[in-house]
Amino acid sequence: MKKSHILLLGALLLLPGCGRAEADTRTIIRIGHNQSTNHPTHIALEAFETFIERQLGEQYNVEVFPSELLGSQNEMVQLTQTGAINFCVASNSLLETFSKNYSLFNLPYLFSSSEAYHAAMDDKAITGPIFESTKQAGFEAVTWLDAGTRNFYTVDRPIETPADLKGLKIRTQQSPTNVEMMRLLGGSATPMGFGEVYTALQSKVIDGAENNEMALTDNGHGDVCKYYSYDMHQMIPDILIGNLAFLEGLPAEERAVFEQGFALINTVQREEWSKAVESAKEKAQQQQGVIFNYPDTAPFEQACQPLHESMLQSNPDLQPVYEAIQRHNQQFSTS
């Protein structure tokens, strides 16, 4: 963890309730994430803060820390594990290093449409075995957040086919599935934390990255990368995880209020998400001069197929969940 983060975290943990005239006996609930305060995830967490403080304000003071203030996603997951903070938002990608079940949602071309993706993520028979699989690691997932579709974007040339990735250094998330995906597609994977990507693009350490449209505007990547290619390789959810001891220590009636709060986060974030993506795309086109192109996705999908087989071979317990996802895919391809 960066020294500045350690100092800030130390100050935050040591000074609960500072600034209030009387001693504040409320328990502070700290939630960290890596997005800006304009982002749908932050807006949804603020709605949670208001809701919990309205319902249980005598017991709890909720504090939301945006923009990697508490560290990178990897660091925040570790802080949530130990209970130094109560919750954080982590990309599903990172969680596969804590439980191999999470590899499922990292598979490229797992969902055939955003309708099927949403239906599958709302299906507790699908998410249950995955969300509970990190209990031994000290945390569990309490809800999921939309992070759209991930696509390649590059500094100076569009990606029309997998062959265009050859020789390019592309930032990937720090997950074995994503590194393997890049290998299968022919590019050179450069894993790094999200907060390092802008500087890496600017200084030409990498030639491009892959993410949803909001990374272009909210994180400024569109200032450097002028080609965004809709190869649609992944729909990777973000996951709100909570410290297990904290969650299990809540009295039943308080836990029920928290569960309503988690559902609220999901609803607000998804409503905000669709609006945010539309305006990010418009801003990227009009103000940053980003060109959007729409390659044939079939060759990309074909190249990634071995990942589905290897994931199911290494984790056969996930076969029924994988099949349940295929049923959602079929339902939306015929309706």
Which residues would be at the binding site for ligand GCU (CB under 6 A)? Answer: 34, 73, 91, 147, 173, 194, 211, 215, 238
Q: How far is the CB of 24 from ligand GCU (least distance, A)?
A: 31
C-beta nearest to ligand GCU: residue = 194
**Conformation bin of residue 186: beta by default, left when phi > 0, alpha when psi is -120 to 50:** left
Identify each DSSP E strand in the chain by its residue range: 27-32, 60-65, 87-91, 139-145, 150-154, 169-172, 188-191, 208-211, 227-234, 238-243, 291-293
Q: What distance in Å separates the CA atoms of residue 253 and residue 128, rounded to the nearest whole number?
A: 22
Residue 39: CB minimum distance to ligand GCU, A: 8
- In angstroms, what CA-CA distances link 77 with 64, 87, 122, 228, 329? 15, 8, 23, 30, 31
In the numeric block, which tokens belong to residue 140?
């569990």
Least Å distance between CB 215 and ligand GCU?
6
Specify the residue, 56 or 182, whose C-beta has the smaller distance to ligand GCU. Answer: 182
Cβ closest to ligand GCU, residue 42 vs residue 226:
42
Q: Which amino acid is at 226?
A: K
Question: Please, what is the minimum distance in Å from the beta carbon of residue 64 to ligand GCU?
Answer: 15
Nearer to ligand GCU, 267 or 330 (CB): 267
What one-character DSSP code corresponds to residue 86? S
Shortest CB 35 distance to ligand GCU, Å: 7
Which one, 215 or 325, has the nearer CB to ligand GCU? 215
Shortest distance in whole angstroms from residue 316 CB to ligand GCU: 29
Q: Where are the beta strands (DSSP E) in 184-288?
A: 188-191, 208-211, 227-234, 238-243
Please provide residue 234's backbone torsions phi and psi, each rounded to the nearest 5 degrees.
-145, 150
Judged by beta carbon, residue 61 or residue 266, the one nearer ligand GCU is 266
Six token digits for residue 1: 């963890």
The one-letter amino acid at 258: F
Using the minimum distance from each CB to ligand GCU, give the nearer residue, 164 or 238.
Answer: 238
| Pairing of β 238-243 and β 139-145 | antiparallel
Nearest to ligand GCU of 60, 139 (CB atom)? 139
Tokens describing residue 186? 């022919």
**In the complex, least distance from residue 321 CB atom to ligand GCU, rounded to whole angstroms:** 22
Closest contact distance (angstroms) between CB of 197 and ligand GCU is 7
What residue ranges in 173-284 does DSSP mark as E strands? 188-191, 208-211, 227-234, 238-243
Residue (61 or 178) nearer to ligand GCU, CB = 178
